[in-house]
Amino acid sequence: MAATSVQAQQQQPLLGFGTEAAKKELDLEAAFDKQLQANNLRDWMKRMTAFPHQLGSPYGLNNALFLRDKLASWGFDARLDTVHVLFPTPKVRILELTEPTKFKASLTEKPLKEDATSAQTKDVLPPYHAFSANGDVTAELVFVNYGVPDDYEELAKLGVDVKGKIVIAKYGGSWRGIKPKVAYEHGAIGCIIYSDPKEDGYFQGDVYPKGAFKNESGVQRGSVVDLPLAPGDPLTNGFVADAAHKRLSVDEAPAMMKIPVLPISYGDALPLLKALGGQVAPATWRGALPITYHVGPGPAKVHLKLEFNFDIVPCYNVIATLKGSEFPDQWVIRGNHHDAWVFGAADPVSGAVAELEEARALGELVKTGWNPKRTIVYCWWDGEEPGLLGSTEWVEKYQSILKEKAVVYLNSDGNGRGYLGAGGSHTLEKFVNQVGRDVTDPEKGTSVIERLRSRTILNGTPTAKQEARSRADLRIGALGSGSDYTPFIQHLGIASLNVGYGGEDAGGDYHSIFDSYDHYTRFKDGDFAYGVTLAKTLGRSVLRFANADVLPFDFSNFANTVQGYTAEVKKELEAARTKAEDHNKVLGEGRFEAAADPKDPFVKPSVESVAPYLNFAPLDNALVRLEQSAKAFASASSKFSTLPADKLKELNEILYKTERKLIHADGLPRRPWYRHQIYAPGFYTGYGVKTLPMIREAIEQKNWKEAEEGILRVSGVLEGFVGEVERAIGVGR
Ligand SMILES: [Zn+2]
């Protein structure tokens, strides 16, 4: 049944291919699928995760050379493209409770006999946060929940100030780098981040090695570079260090964290939290430790001392090219990082080996006489974990070439068992749906897109449920940051996709020594069936982009998506206005004082700024034109594949450069590196995306003037985009 329906769907037209070409393409994809072997993924994962392979490590270079040599043996033009970047590693780490009792945190993860690599010590980086400041501070402790801006509003209501204090925050609720940044903005002098068992420990399920979840010694390492400001080497934001471009000093680097920050386990956090007094934490802040959670400050006092080596290290990107036979100057780029925090089986090796198997299968197709029309560039990035260092420096190094030649960037970053997860440029939403239609789920035999549709109908939000039934294409998420697509889409405006499977593979191993081959094969994708499925999904995407007559971009779903974002920001503005009006009303009536518990400290809230009415007309007008041009393009596109070669070439160049029109040379306010005007990582969410970021964040920050400027900025960018769509229609006429 399921197979027949997939076949029936396959007979529907293939975006970018005429009838004959589509048939040939589907045959080629079937031959590609036949090549893929799960055992290769298993062998390569075992090999690549045998030793720690973080940026700057001997085994990191060993893996890079392994990848390069494999690729060269399959017929790719493969090389290491090396850049030099700042990589801080820990020299001194001390955390101790000095009052009211004494306790010294172990700051180590305990090896397990059930986990073969966990007892290694050579080249293992202990738990730390890359790009933390040096520091030696002693102060009272305050518990700040997730440490996001809302939590500090709550603390202010409780009369608790963190100025001059050390804060302890839970992982979760935002990207980790936001926590010390917001703590610093509120005057804290140090920050500790711990993994509460409620998030990924025993509250969720059995802990490792019995189950997949975090045990009491597991710690999440990670970067705290100010990623929403700019990724890449913080000493060289926007460029690569060379004779003409000098590195900043560590002290000058704006993206460096300003206070010391350290990750710890819940084993180490328990005595600190237990020693806290003060008010009982709000109900939603409490975790799963066997204590009553208090916010402090004190009487717990802690001493935190951190020192780092600030070394410049080589960063080895592996770049492998198959030259296009017809359009060598149009590049289809595919990437996944190869560096890990320690052994990194799930993150990133599960994705890196799927990508490697794709490349091997392409090499086999070449042996049969096939050649891609466009150039295919396969990349394995180094230094992703400390802050997208390898990919960002590569993009900055080759930016003028990439602006001209990059057609699309296809990313993965780890993989597991479960459902298709896809995010990216909405001009690619239809494309992703077609690819997902043609890939079969290994557990259920239905297409991966239909499986995702079923889950959305069961578990989605009310709107998502309704749309999953009525809308032809499933929606894809927008990209914020957190992986190597960031420099491509956010800095240069190269249409990008990020794809991975997951949702049936939970665990607490992320960025700990327990993200290992043993953990992965027991709890994630033990038979590598979803690794092969990822290779089918992204390999197919590469093949379609490399071979298409007309590049498979579509503008209707993009127009529909931006209309949705606009409706959201209008709603947010209305909600902000109502909230501020209500707040000011009850404040004026004296109701806060009247309702407060006289035994608790009372802090009178201040008057809130009420949102004015903003003029959305320019944006509404641009959206109407966008919708019209998208419709006109869709109806004109049926004839495109019959165009003469020179016209097709011109058309395709316009198509893949439409995304470039969504960037603005000035970038976003206070963070010029981020230039995309539709998608950006949130300034206070980190990885989490903010769509229409200039408008949305201005409304959230109650900066009404900037919101109005944002409306004009986005309208202008969309008008430019519409101009290109109309030009494409003109060429195709
Ligand atoms: Zn990763």
Per-residue confidence (pLDDT) for residue 600, from 0 to 100: 80
Distance in Å, CA 115 to ligand 1 centroid: 21
Distance in Å, CA 337 to ligand 1 centroid: 7
> Which range has the worst mean pLDDT, 120-124, 507-511, 604-608, 626-630?
604-608
> Which range has the worst mean pLDDT, 202-206, 229-233, 506-510, 717-721?
506-510
Distance in Å, CA 412 to ligand 1 centroid: 8
Distance in Å, CA 296 to ligand 1 centroid: 35
Per-residue confidence (pLDDT) for residue 74, from 0 to 100: 98
Q: CA–CA distance from 223 to each of 447, 475, 542 (Å)? A: 37, 30, 31
- Please tell me whether the overall predicted TM-score, pTM, comes out greater than 0.75 for this model: yes
One-character DSSP codes across 117-140: TTT--TTPPPS-EETPPPEEEEEE
Distance in Å, CA 146 to ligand 1 centroid: 22
Distance in Å, CA 413 to ligand 1 centroid: 5
C-alpha 525/C-alpha 531 separation (Å) is: 7
Asked if the model's pLDDT at residue 432 lies above 50, the reply is yes
Distance in Å, CA 350 to ligand 1 centroid: 10
Q: CA–CA distance from 48 to each of 521, 532, 536 (Å)? A: 14, 17, 22
Token pair of 161, please? Answer: 């100030």
Distance in Å, CA 509 to ligand 1 centroid: 13
Write the pLDDT tens digit of every residue in 645-664: 999 999 999 999 999 999 99
Distance in Å, CA 691 to ligand 1 centroid: 23
Per-residue confidence (pLDDT) for residue 69, from 0 to 100: 98
Distance in Å, CA 344 to ligand 1 centroid: 8
Distance in Å, CA 565 to ligand 1 centroid: 28
Distance in Å, CA 260 to ligand 1 centroid: 24
Distance in Å, CA 415 to ligand 1 centroid: 10
Asked if the model's pLDDT at residue 52 lies above 80, the reply is yes
Residues, beta carbon < 5 Å, ion ligand 1 = 347-348, 413
pLDDT-based confidence at residue 12 (cuts at 50, 70, 90) = low
Distance in Å, CA 313 to ligand 1 centroid: 19
Distance in Å, CA 125 to ligand 1 centroid: 16
Distance in Å, CA 541 to ligand 1 centroid: 21
Distance in Å, CA 248 to ligand 1 centroid: 27
Beta bridge pairs of residue 392: none
Distance in Å, CA 484 to ligand 1 centroid: 9
Q: Strands of 382-439 (E only): list them.
A: 406-411, 418-424
Asked if the model's pLDDT at residue 638 lies above 90, the reply is no
> Which range has the worst mean pLDDT, 229-243, 277-291, 324-338, 509-523?
229-243
Sign of CA dihedral 599, 603, 604, 610: negative
H helices present in 412-490, as ranges:
429-437, 448-459, 462-470, 485-486
Tell which phi-psi region holds residue 344, choosing left (phi > 0), alpha (psi between -120 and 50) or beta.
left
Distance in Å, CA 349 to ligand 1 centroid: 8
Distance in Å, CA 335 to ligand 1 centroid: 11
Distance in Å, CA 348 to ligand 1 centroid: 5
Mean pLDDT of 183-208: 97
Distance in Å, CA 608 to ligand 1 centroid: 41
Distance in Å, CA 346 to ligand 1 centroid: 8
Per-residue confidence (pLDDT) for residue 172, from 0 to 100: 95
Distance in Å, CA 616 to ligand 1 centroid: 39
Write the pLDDT tens digit of every residue in 342-363: 999 999 999 999 999 999 999 9
Reduce the DSSP state of residue 645 to 3 states and report it.
Answer: helix
Per-residue confidence (pLDDT) for residue 1, from 0 to 100: 35
Distance in Å, CA 239 to ligand 1 centroid: 23
Distance in Å, CA 311 to ligand 1 centroid: 22
Distance in Å, CA 4 to ligand 1 centroid: 37
Distance in Å, CA 369 to ligand 1 centroid: 35
Distance in Å, CA 431 to ligand 1 centroid: 25
Distance in Å, CA 603 to ligand 1 centroid: 43
Contact between residue 104 and residue 98 where contact means Cβ atoms under 8 Å apart? no
Asked if the peptide bond before residue 314 counts as cis, ω within 30 degrees of 0, the response is: no
Contact between residue 696 and residue 690 where contact means Cβ atoms under 8 Å apart? yes
Distance in Å, CA 483 to ligand 1 centroid: 7
C-alpha 400/C-alpha 416 separation (Å) is: 36
pLDDT-based confidence at residue 387 (cuts at 50, 70, 90) = very high
Distance in Å, CA 33 to ligand 1 centroid: 25
Contact between residue 708 and residue 614 where contact means Cβ atoms under 8 Å apart? yes
Distance in Å, CA 414 to ligand 1 centroid: 6
Distance in Å, CA 682 to ligand 1 centroid: 19
Distance in Å, CA 347 to ligand 1 centroid: 5
Asked if the peptide bond before residue 299 counts as cis, ω within 30 degrees of 0, the response is: yes
Mean pLDDT of 57-75: 98
Distance in Å, CA 341 to ligand 1 centroid: 9
pLDDT-based confidence at residue 639 (cuts at 50, 70, 90) = confident
Distance in Å, CA 53 to ligand 1 centroid: 13
Per-residue confidence (pLDDT) for residue 40, from 0 to 100: 98
Write the pLDDT tens digit of every residue in 568-589: 999 999 999 999 999 999 999 9
Distance in Å, CA 10 to ligand 1 centroid: 33
Q: Over pLDDT 70: what percentage of the chain?
A: 98
Distance in Å, CA 224 to ligand 1 centroid: 15
Distance in Å, CA 272 to ligand 1 centroid: 31
Distance in Å, CA 384 to ligand 1 centroid: 7
CA angle, residues 612, 617, 623, in degrees to nearest 5: 130
Per-residue confidence (pLDDT) for residue 5, from 0 to 100: 42
C-alpha 383/C-alpha 85 separation (Å) is: 9
Distance in Å, CA 237 to ligand 1 centroid: 21
Distance in Å, CA 385 to ligand 1 centroid: 6
Question: Number of C-alpha atoms within 13 angstroms, CB side, residue 413?
Answer: 22
Distance in Å, CA 511 to ligand 1 centroid: 9
Q: Share the mean pLDDT of the chain.
A: 95
Distance in Å, CA 188 to ligand 1 centroid: 30
C-alpha 413/C-alpha 334 separation (Å) is: 11
Mean pLDDT of 504-531: 96
Distance in Å, CA 338 to ligand 1 centroid: 8
Residue 277 DSSP label: -
C-alpha 567/C-alpha 560 separation (Å) is: 11
Write the pLDDT tens digit of every residue in 119-166: 999 999 999 999 999 999 999 999 999 999 999 999 999 999 999 999
Distance in Å, CA 383 to ligand 1 centroid: 10
Question: Number of C-alpha atoms within 13 angstroms, CB side, residue 684?
Answer: 15
Distance in Å, CA 37 to ligand 1 centroid: 23
Distance in Å, CA 448 to ligand 1 centroid: 23
Per-residue confidence (pLDDT) for residue 8, from 0 to 100: 42
Distance in Å, CA 11 to ligand 1 centroid: 36
Token pair of 295, please? Answer: 């916010």
Per-residue confidence (pLDDT) for residue 6, from 0 to 100: 41
Asked if the model's pLDDT at residue 415 lies above 50, the reply is yes
